[in-house]
Amino acid sequence: MEVTPLSKFLHNDRLVLIMSFVIALALWVGVASGQNRDVQRTFPNIPLTWRNLPENLSVVDTSPETVDVTLRGDREIMSDLSPEDFVAAVNLSGASRGAVDYFVTVSVPRGVQLVQVEPQTVTVELEQSVEEVFQVSIRLTGTPEAELAEPTADPAQVVVNGPMSRVEQIAEVQAEVEVDGLDQDLRERVVCTPVDAEGNPVRGVLLIPRQVDVLIAREETQVTRQLPVKPVMYGELPPDRVLTSVTVRPRMVSVTGPEEAVEQLDHVLTEPIDLTGLDLDDTLEVEIPVGTTIEDPAGMRIDPQDVVIELMFMDPDAQDEDEE
């Protein structure tokens, strides 16, 4: 039988043992390196989400309010994972009022394994849900440089929904606006906060809408001017009538309003007077509508607002006879 180098190698027990060890070591390193790509990571204080909450109920209390979630997965996937990528939820389907323990379920991304949720159950207290409408109370902080008019909110009311015991604690819904140094009009979107009688925020309720637009205008300087009244007339007189004179009593009225608007006026106009069908001399009482002369009548006042108009007519044929 011919002896080859391979047969010599295979009959050498020491060399075979060494080679077997090297191969086994290589296999172990390969497997271990693959396993070491998986890492474990714990995400603390994950907030809970409610699923299938009955419409007539609200969550008034949870113990604890958060859970710790431990996940395992590929090193690269886990390094990019954040709490926003998974959800810790409690299924409240069929729940009723009172405090009950519920299991926490966690939905995780593909390629990630859920290892542990701590704690596995939480105590959820449910209460009858109520709804109430509140007027928005605007709270100004700071010292403005200009005089400010009364602020307004749009919308002026919000709907509060939540557990009855929480909604009953609410004294008002506030919209707080900083006006320190303000010297011009301000329009700002503000988050509303429900507060109790001591001004402490009331948690655990839902506001609809959550934000309102607050409008704060500068308080304009008010002035008063005496302005003449000009009658507004339209229509056609009969052929046998000629309008000879128009007398207004009083001839001047007081106009009060924002300085910029009042200073632009040099007279005020009456409501229109229809001359059609007037017979002989007439005395009419007419109104001075604020909006007739003033484009933006907000905050404007006229005193008196009613005036007397005396109209004098003449027969043109009679006038010709007198002249003859």
Q: For residue range 269-281, what is the model confidence (pLDDT) as tens digits?
A: 999 998 887 766 7
What are φ and ψ of residue 33, in 5° steps?
-65, -35
pTM: 0.52
Helix (H) or strand (E) holding 162: strand 157-163
CA distance 151 to 264: 26
Query: 16 and 10 in contact (C-beta within 8 Å)?
Result: yes
Mean pLDDT estimate for the chain: 86
- pLDDT score at 319: 53
For residue 10, pLDDT beyond 80: no
What whole-number distance in Å separates Cα of residue 134 and Cα of residue 157?
6
Structure confidence at residue 8 (pLDDT): 53
Whether 229 has a pLDDT exceeding 80, the answer reads: yes
Q: What is the pLDDT of residues 90-117, one digit of tens each?
A: 999 999 999 999 999 999 888 899 999 9
Write out the DSSP string of 191-256. EEEEE-TTSPBPPS-EEESSEEEEEE-B-PPEEEEEEEEEEEEES---TT-EEEEEEEESSEEEEE
Token code pair at residue 281: 């001399």
* Tokens describing residue 263: 């200073």
Residue 147 has what pLDDT?
Answer: 80
Question: 164-216 pLDDT, tens per residue?
Answer: 999 999 999 999 999 999 888 899 999 999 999 999 999 989 999 999 999 99
Question: Using one digit for the tens of pLDDT, what is the confidence trace for 11-67?
Answer: 556 665 666 666 766 666 555 555 557 899 999 999 999 999 998 999 999 999 999
Domains of the chain: 42-127 (2.170.120.30), 129-216 (2.170.120.40), 222-323 (2.170.120.40)
The token pair at 192 is: 């509303």
